[in-house]
Structure 1
Amino acid sequence: MHDGKFDTTNWAIMQKGNFAQSFLTASLAQILHESPPGIRVIDVGGDIGFFTLLAASLGPVAIDVFEPQPVHRLRICESLNINQWHSEFDMHYDDNPKEASLVNVIPFGVGNARGLYEFKGELGHPNQGHYTGLVAKMGSNAQRLVQLDEFAEERGWFGESRPDIAILKVSVEGFELNTVEGALELLHLKVIRNILIEVSFRNEAEIARNRGTVQILEDSEYRLYKMGTLEAPDELPIVDDDKLYENLVKAGQATPSKQLNLWWKLSEYM
């Protein structure tokens, strides 16, 4: 972990004996326990690597973790080194035990565009860094954005190398719509079976934007399977009617953080 003075949020959570959201942790573990060996996980917004490390420990799986902040990537790499988990691009890849997980640390953010964009972090809350949407020149606040569709195309995932992606996990501090807009082909071709996404309803702008996020997932034949809060392990009831999004907004705004964790499944796996 980071020093407590640098990252007060994660430090405070760890002091309570539970690093990350219980609902999201349990959901990810359930999916991996029910999946065959050799599946893939995409972790968008890796932070210091909690969910990537959890997935790797429940493997063998191949994981692509996207994290634009160098300070977070350092923590991820340190943890991977301790566990001796290699990447698919490591020089020791051929020596990697078949029962071991593989973790690829991707030093980019994910969105609906490509190039350098302004990224702002906050001392004390570096896990709440976000893209401003402004194009940036190379410098301390410039971080590269990629599209998941572009990433998949470069790896041949739309052809013979199509993988079994069991989980796409998204935690991007208000950039959810941008992330799914950059993955329309992956969603359309049903390459991803489960999506775990953190959605915020902290202000009118987020409420308006995430209506689009939910609409894209529904149009791509994903159905809301479970949902929970960031604060408690218990599931929340789902009201499955034509006012699904309005009900999500009410449920989210009733929580202390005004955020929900949503587990979406392809309808064919429901």
Structure 2
Amino acid sequence: MPATSTSISTIEDEQLERYARHIVLKEIGGEGQRRLLASSVAVIGAGGIGSPALQYLAAAGIGRLRVIDDDRVDLANLQRQILFGTGDVGRPKTEAAGEALARLNPDPQVDTVEERLTAANVGALLDGSDLVVDGSDNVATRLIVSDHCTAARIPLVSASIGQFQVQIGTFRGWEPGLPCYRCFVGDAFDSDDCDSCSEVGVLGAASGLAGSWAAMEAIRAIVPFGEDPAGKLHVFDGLTPKLRTIKLVKDPGCRACGG
């Protein structure tokens, strides 16, 4: 059910002004904004996708943001990773991101984790989150995240970029008829066959589109509003430009969600 604009009694006066453009939307309203303020979102990667996603999630008033990244800011990042500036080069991304988000909005509690997500620590890093946004840069990590989110029943928004293309999907693979991310990519991937941005390039603005879109889907999942996007993959081709939506099928043999 859409939130109503009358349920605003627990939002403080300054927050009423800060989030006014959300509150006047009948699909969000005061109740929806309260849900955002009470929510917890984990974002994996503070890079090209994570940077704009984190900015819009913080600006939206997500109550708790967990930023997970083990990398440091490099000069080559600045073409697309808009959380950072030249003075941040060499700093841990989580440290610089935490400071930038605090300047943007004091409402969210920002937890920074300077670790690489692995099968050994995924539970400790993601459990307790209402939703996960995955902007990591490799399929192996994405599968670890997806498998855990499926088992723990945490909604997952997965965003990826390559050159001029953006892909966005929302996954709740524990639900009947809905696929998980592993249903989409399968098991037979070769990490040596996966190109990186440094090898093939990426348009900086495409990263911005991916991160902003991921933030919108995260907000949609929390409030919610509009149509449920789970089970669909949205693909934007910036060269054409063209957007298409692909319906994903649950794999009955998937070792994460099948059977």
TM-score, normalization: structure 1?
A: 0.41
Q: Per residue, is there more strand in 1 or in 2?
A: 1
TM-score, normalization: structure 2?
A: 0.43
